[in-house]
Amino acid sequence: MSHISSYPAVVLPVAPAVATARLGGFVSIVDGAHCLGNLAIDLALIDPDFYFANGHKWLYSARGSAFLYARPEFQGANMPTVR
């Protein structure tokens, strides 16, 4: 789910959604593309399985500047496309 929707720009309740997904046995993936530079991202509070964001949208950085957070139990399952 998106952390902030693109239009209209609404901050969505991702922490309760992640908690509900975990109770149901689902993996949570949060898209924080519109968060960087707009609000503080507290990954400890949200506690998602995956969280990613792109820096080029709001930080005016180069395309490809992004981050991916993965909970420790999922970190071995990620394979980078560039090594």
Q: pLDDT by residue (tens digit) across 5-63?
A: 988 889 999 999 999 999 999 999 999 989 988 899 999 999 999 999 988 878 888 88
The predicted pLDDT at position 40 comes to 93
> Mean per-residue pLDDT for 50-79?
88
Q: In terms of pLDDT, which residue wins out, 78 or 25?
A: 25
Q: 33: closest CA among 76, 3, 70?
A: 3
Q: In terms of pLDDT, which residue wins out, 47 or 66?
A: 47
Distances (CA, A) of 53 to 24, 56, 64, 82: 25, 9, 10, 18
